[in-house]
Amino acid sequence: MANKKSGGVAGAVKALAQPLADELGYILWDVEYVREGADYYLRITLDNEQGITIEDCERFSRAIDPVLDEADPVPDSYHLEVSSPGIERELKTPEHIAACSGWDVEAKLFSPLEGSRTWRGVLVGMDENKNVLIELPERTLAIPSAAISRLTTVFDFSSGL
């Protein structure tokens, strides 16, 4: 579950974006620098208490553009994408887990734990041993964070908004 993108280009961009996000009142949720086909994408994901609008994404994009141009942390030509993490979001860091405590989540594991590779329940948080705690109907399950391949929030779309 460790964020593999913490170094390199993504780490450099995160260091540049964090103060700007703070100044503009956003939470810097994630920074990814990925290659898809022949193209490179720099994806900056923002959040805040009220949610992120298209206008927020445009505002941050306009603000970060000159910072990126001046610092030039990206060695390749790339597409900049600024977005919200959405209602169903991947939780990659202890900060993400803390922010989404009480939300419904799904943990996909690298190998089975108690006979299952997928667990769904309510996220309690993370304990001092770096176990992700998920409340199941009958008990709280502690899953070692290193055993989790993907942890995401889930939303029951049939219940409406």
Q: Tell me: the pLDDT tens digits for 102-148? A: 999 999 999 999 999 999 999 999 999 999 999 999 999 999 999 99
The pTM of the full predicted model, rounded to 2 decimals, is: 0.80
Distance CA 47, CA 96 (A): 11
Q: How far are the Cα atoms of 46, 144, 150 from residue 129, in angstroms, in the given order?
A: 28, 8, 19
37 φψ region: left (φ > 0), alpha (ψ -120 to 50), beta (else):
left
| Collapsed DSSP state (helix, strand, coil) of residue 52 | coil
Q: Which residues pair with 28 in a beta bridge?
A: 46
List the single range of 68-72, 78-82, 154-158 with lowest mean pLDDT. 154-158
Question: In order of start, what are the domains of the chain with their CATH numbers?
Answer: 8-83 (3.30.300.70), 94-159 (2.30.30.100)
117 backbone dihedrals φ, ψ, rounded to 5°: -100, -5
